Structure 1
Amino acid sequence: MVKNLYKTIAAATLLASSGLAHATIVEIKTNLGSFEVNLFDQSTPVTVENFLNYTNAEQYHNTVIHRSMPGFVIQGGGFVFEQELPLKQTETNAAIVNEPKWSNVRGTIAMAKLSGNPNSATNQWYINLSDNSANLDFQNGGFTVFGQINAQGMEVVDAIAALPRYNFQGVTTDLPLTNYTSDDYSDNKPLVASNFIVVESITVVDETPNTEDNVAKTPTRNEQPDTIIGGSAGSAGLVSLLALMLVAIRRRITH
């Protein structure tokens, strides 16, 4: 009995010290403005705990938005700029299991992962700029949406997505930059820290356990009730599948 009591105390201590104890709203502060993200810790607990582990360890501080694809996503969390290219990849924790419950619609945040490996997400995340459900809810086992940005916050995200992008190869083929012009690019002008969109910090601003209850979430199609295949519904499904195949060829989310 004493042994079981120790186990119970240890489990409670672990829960209290983990992200699972803090159903959460976080603030992402960038040099272009700040926005809040309501995390879905009750329905995607493994993913949120993973994100909060990086957050609480301040491992997202001074990382950069390394990919911007207007009408699709912006992506960050995995790289820092140390005075020269290529960007330096930050340290990662162990990869986590996939939790694809919610749909990749506009304003949601999800985890990036390695191509062909559904359970490979570590520290990189992306924000959906539009409804990408037909592609990302199915590709690579489905991408785990674990939070949502409100409309006001999306103004900052859209401003980042509106910046000019430049191809510096590697992970920076769609690099958004500020105070940098096409002439600078043609002249091979070296980049400096102020050219990047920097995530200055990610911090917890609300630990209320049921914050996600206030968010209208969209389930992935695999989470929705089964539909009858045939007739008009079957035709619509075929059109969606063809669209998915075409889009998936062009747009992939990877590390």
Structure 2
Amino acid sequence: MKFLNISFSSLLLSSLLALSSSANATVVLFKTNMGDFEVNLFDQETPETVDNFLRYIETGAYKNSIVHRSVKNFIVQGGGFSYNIDNNNIVDEMKFTAVMNEPKFSNVRGTIAMAKLGNNPDSATNQWFFNVADNGANLDNQNEGFTAFGRVTGDGMEVVDAINQLDLYNITDLPAFTDTPLRTEPSGDGINEQHFVLIESITVIDANEDTQPNLPPKSTAEPTSESGGSSGGTVFWLLSILSLGLFRRSVKS
């Protein structure tokens, strides 16, 4: 099978910094090649995380963003890589400074949360994931909790669920793409936009930060005297799934 080459964004950090966040969005629209849905952000409760997310939106970092990882009945993850249709390349998006962790709410079904490095609670940058199931018992208690900063509204989870049920492929030429959902099975001609699940755009559709979503329950994190708040094999497994430090496996084709 022929695979794409990874290329890196040529955007300068200075130019990205110049596009500071000016909107206090409450509702954003995810337009995808599998359907559209809205997400209500928790502006007042997780302000640092929301501002960070909006900053990436304003720079255009999430245009044709690839859903590069899915774990059945657990999470759907994206935000770190975009697809350049003109050049048939995958772009590893530039990252801003990591954002402070704000684990206020439980990682219940329908919430969007920030992905981060294992054993580093304040390491979230541009990658996010949707909780497809109620994952609070696990994710609220690991790595000082994963920050849920918004929630899918209306019937939007039908789209997320459809993505989560797609067949998964392990692409060895792309180390981050070990469990990648594809819309159709790849052929000998390689993988392109017809195969990937793409977030075509994320845009602000309601900038009223006072709009209150249906807030999820508070975090279920249990008090602990240890800074990591987790240990053991289960923790290693889940952190491996959600961390940005990814590994290489063989191709399923």
> In which range does the TM-score fall when normalised by the shorter chain?
0.7 to 0.9
Instruction: State the TM-score, normalized to the length of structure 1.
Output: 0.77
Instruction: Give 2:16's aligned residue.
Output: none
**Amino acid in the other structure paired with 1:29:** K
Contact 2:25–2:54 under 8 Å retained in 1: no
**Amino acid in the other structure paired with 2:243:** T
Contact 2:25–2:204 under 8 Å retained in 1: no
Matched, 1:138 2:141: yes
Matched, 1:250 2:237: yes
What are the Cα deviations for residues 97-127 of structure 1, in whole angstroms up to 9, with x where unaligned? Answer: 1001000000000001111111111110000
2:114 to 111, 114, 122: 111
For 2:169 and 2:40, the matched residues in 1 are separated by 31
Instruction: Give 2:56's aligned residue.
Output: 54
For 2:25 and 2:61, the matched residues in 1 are separated by 20
**Amino acid in the other structure paired with 2:61:** Q
1:90 to 79, 90, 93: 93
Instruction: Give 1:210's aligned residue.
Output: 210
Instruction: Give 2:5's aligned residue.
Output: none
Instruction: Give 1:172's aligned residue.
Output: 177
Contact 1:55–1:202 under 8 Å retained in 2: yes
Name the stretch that deviates more: 202-211 or 69-78. 202-211
2:69 to 64, 67, 70: 67
Between Structure 1 and Structure 2, the one with more helix by share is 1
For 2:28 and 2:155, the matched residues in 1 are separated by 15
**Amino acid in the other structure paired with 2:82:** V
For 1:77 and 1:66, the matched residues in 2 are separated by 8
**Aligned residue-pair number:** 214
For 1:40 and 1:70, the matched residues in 2 are separated by 26
Contact 2:111–2:131 under 8 Å retained in 1: yes
SS at match of 2:143: helix
What are the Cα deviations for residues 58-77 of structure 1, in whole angstroms up to 9, with x where unaligned? Answer: 11101100001111100000
Contact 1:112–1:126 under 8 Å retained in 2: yes
Shift of 1:254: 1.2
SS at match of 2:124: coil
SS at match of 2:108: coil
1:40 to 39, 42, 46: 42
The alignment-based identity, stated in percent, is 47
**Amino acid in the other structure paired with 2:200:** E
For 1:84 and 1:166, the matched residues in 2 are separated by 19
For 1:124 and 1:156, the matched residues in 2 are separated by 19
**Amino acid in the other structure paired with 1:127:** F
Name the stretch that deviates more: 203-212 or 75-84. 75-84
Contact 1:80–1:89 under 8 Å retained in 2: yes
Contact 2:145–2:221 under 8 Å retained in 1: no
Instruction: State the TM-score, normalized to the length of structure 2.
Output: 0.78
Rg: which structure is higher? 1
What are the Cα deviations for residues 45-98 of structure 1, in whole angstroms up to 9, with x where unaligned? Answer: 00000000111121110110000111110000011235667x431111111110
Structure 2 segments unaligned to the other structure (5+ residues): 1-19, 224-228, 245-253
Shift of 1:217: 1.8
SS at match of 1:104: coil
**Amino acid in the other structure paired with 2:184:** N
Contact 1:23–1:211 under 8 Å retained in 2: no
What are the Cα deviations for residues 167-212 of structure 1, in whole angstroms up to 9, with x where unaligned? Answer: 114211110001216xx4xxx5511221101110000001122223
SS at match of 2:235: helix
**Amino acid in the other structure paired with 1:208:** N
1:149 to 152, 161, 171: 152
